[in-house]
């Protein structure tokens, strides 16, 4: 059994400092003939009435684990992907494979990736009012996949965000082991998870977003959904954007206020600096180059013009509210969503230093449909560790990482625990995480150091070469410094 002091300090040293490189903008594409619909410009032939729901989207689901992961639920997953399948049937030939997932994010967000993974936050799913609105969200994100927008030069965030999105400086320099420092470190780690989704959003141009809006409408109409659902969805975006901004600002306040800047606290400086990088540099880039955060009213106006031009005489079926309510307003869905709410409440209790309440909230999550999510297990690990239950926390941590369904932050936590108790096991864990998470650069200093301890000189040279290359390509001096120190 690992002693509390060992486990407690290990939990504080999860990540390293990051200097995030602002990504390049996507390349421009030739615009389509304005007299054609997006569908007509890209597809020919009759609808094949075929669907192609991917069994999984391994690249993007692993990327999501750099943030809060996904909220898997068979019933809700089935409904979401049935809507996607209906949209796919209007396409000629075999449609591009894709799959829809719910995420534990509290922001009202949706995004997609090149591998066909489509991710919608549970808060957005709960806020919609009809299947037609849900179809509008899915159709828009799927349109990005169909139009191959992510092949033009979108940001490969896992490598472009030097030291990976969401990993902040949890001070490898702090040597104290007090409960106050432990709490601060854990909360700083959760701050990273909270903002990391910003850095995972692919960078798309305004033209690409407009194209996806238009093709999304084409797909909806061909699938006999009401385009009113899309207009309704866009009309709420302005309110949602304001709420999202409030969530981000409150989150930053909650974390930064824990550390008095007058103390010149190194954790406070690092958290403040990294949040600024993720929110201001990456977030500003997305706002300036895409319509992900553009006014819903403006998008609605543009879409109305498109509808008037191409679908003035199109049927307007009634909004389909019952199927949506049966699936996403059901007792089952409410149980999942309330469980995710409780997981966030556990983090909030830690912020307020209400440690017993944080554990009670985490235990309540275990009784909900959200219990199987990686985020729920992460919350429980933190709550156990901070409530003097190190053995239980370590057992859960070890099993969660071993089954391959942990958040990346927990992989890093286990690595730091094992480095203090078993360097050989730590090396195996580091290599496993490195393989799982697309050669994440933050693992390189540990791989160099642990291989050096195990006298694997060839591996030391290999990983040092990889580190130097990544550091130079991302202009990340901190990564290179850490690798230099590890190599000795």
Do the domain assignments include residue 377?
no
Do the domain assignments include residue 334?
no
Residue range(s) defining the domain that contains residue 160:
16-176+192-328
pLDDT of residue 72: 93
Q: Is the pLDDT of residue 321 over 60?
A: yes
Do the domain assignments include residue 158?
yes
Considering its fold, how many domains does the chain have in total?
2
Do the domain assignments include residue 351?
no
What is the length of the chain?
488
Q: pTM of the predicted model, to two decimals? A: 0.83
Angle (nearest 5°) at CA 249 between 440 and 282: 40
Q: What is the mean pLDDT of the chain?
A: 78
Do the domain assignments include residue 411?
no
pLDDT in tens, 243-295: 766 766 665 555 545 444 434 444 445 445 544 544 554 455 445 544 444 55
Assess whether 449 and 324 both reside in one domain: no
Last residue of a domain, one of 328, 363, 392: 328
Assess whether 78 and 217 both reside in one domain: yes
pLDDT in tens, 132-142: 999 999 999 99
pLDDT of residue 432: 92
Do the domain assignments include residue 400?
no
Work out the average pLDDT over 205-223: 90
Cα(291)–Cα(112) distance, rounded to whole angstroms? 14
Q: Is the pLDDT of residue 91 over 50?
A: yes
Do the domain assignments include residue 318?
yes
Assess whether 219 and 102 both reside in one domain: yes
Assess whether 240 and 95 both reside in one domain: yes
The sign of the torsion formed by the CA atoms of 224, 228, 229, 233 equals positive
pLDDT of residue 284: 53
Last residue of a domain, one of 293, 328, 363: 328
Last residue of a domain, one of 328, 350, 369: 328
Q: Is the pLDDT of residue 40 over 90?
A: yes
Assess whether 322 and 439 both reside in one domain: no
Strand order in the sheet with 110-112: 99-103, 117-121, 110-112
Assess whether 453 and 318 both reside in one domain: no
If one counts every other C-beta atom within 10 angstroms of the C-beta of residue 132, the result is 29
Cα(366)–Cα(204) distance, rounded to whole angstroms? 38
């Amino acid at each position: 059994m690992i002693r509390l002091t060992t486990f407690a300090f290990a939990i504080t040293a999860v990540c390293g400092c990051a200097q995030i490189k602002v990504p390049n903008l996507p390349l421009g594409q030739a615009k389509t003939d304005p007299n054609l619909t997006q569908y007509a410009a890209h597809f020919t032939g009759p609808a094949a009435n075929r669907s192609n729901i991917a069994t999984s989207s391994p690249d993007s689901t692993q990327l999501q684990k750099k943030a809060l992961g996904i909220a898997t639920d068979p019933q809700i997953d089935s409904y979401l992907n049935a809507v996607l399948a209906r949209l796919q049937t209007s396409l000629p030939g075999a449609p591009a494979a894709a799959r829809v997932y719910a995420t534990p994010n509290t922001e009202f967000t949706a995004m997609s990736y090149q591998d066909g993974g489509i991710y919608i936050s549970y808060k957005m799913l709960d806020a919609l009012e009809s299947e037609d609105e849900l179809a509008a969200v899915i159709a828009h994100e799927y349109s990005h996949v169909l139009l191959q927008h992510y092949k033009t030069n979108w940001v490969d965030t896992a490598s472009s965000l030097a030291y990976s999105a969401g990993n902040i400086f949890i001070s490898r320099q702090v040597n104290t082991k007090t409960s106050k420092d432990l709490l601060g470190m854990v909360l700083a780690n959760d701050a990273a998870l909270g903002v990391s989704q910003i850095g995972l959003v692919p960078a798309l141009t305004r033209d690409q977003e407009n194209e996806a809006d238009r093709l999304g409408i084409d797909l909806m109409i061909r699938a006999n959904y009401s385009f009113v659902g899309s207009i309704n969805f866009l009309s709420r975006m302005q309110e949602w954007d304001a709420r999202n901004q409030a969530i981000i600002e409150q989150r930053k306040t909650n974390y930064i206020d824990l550390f008095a800047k007058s103390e010149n606290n190194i954790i406070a400086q690092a958290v403040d600096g990294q949040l600024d990088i993720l929110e201001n540099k990456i977030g500003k880039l997305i706002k300036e180059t895409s319509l992900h955060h553009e006014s819903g009213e403006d998008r609605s106006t543009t879409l109305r013009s498109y509808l008037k031009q191409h679908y003035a005489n199109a049927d307007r079926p009634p909004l389909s509210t019952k199927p949506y309510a049966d699936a996403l307003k059901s007792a089952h869905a409410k149980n999942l969503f309330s469980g995710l709410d409780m997981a966030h409440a556990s983090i909030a209790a830690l912020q307020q230093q209400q440690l017993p309440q944080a554990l009670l909230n985490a235990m309540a999550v275990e009784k909900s449909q959200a219990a199987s999510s990686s985020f729920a297990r992460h919350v429980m690990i933190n709550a156990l560790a901070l409530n003097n239950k190190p053995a239980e926390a370590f057992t859960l941590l070890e099993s969660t990482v071993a089954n391959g369904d942990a958040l990346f932050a927990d992989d890093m936590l286990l690595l730091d625990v094992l480095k203090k108790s078993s360097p050989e096991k730590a090396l195996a864990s580091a290599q496993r995480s490195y393989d799982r998470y697309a050669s994440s650069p933050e693992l390189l200093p540990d791989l160099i150091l642990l291989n050096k301890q195990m006298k694997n000189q060839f591996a030391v040279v290999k990983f040092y070469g990889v580190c130097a290359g990544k550091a130079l390509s991302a202009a990340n001096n901190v990564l290179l410094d850490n690798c230099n120190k590890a190599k000795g």
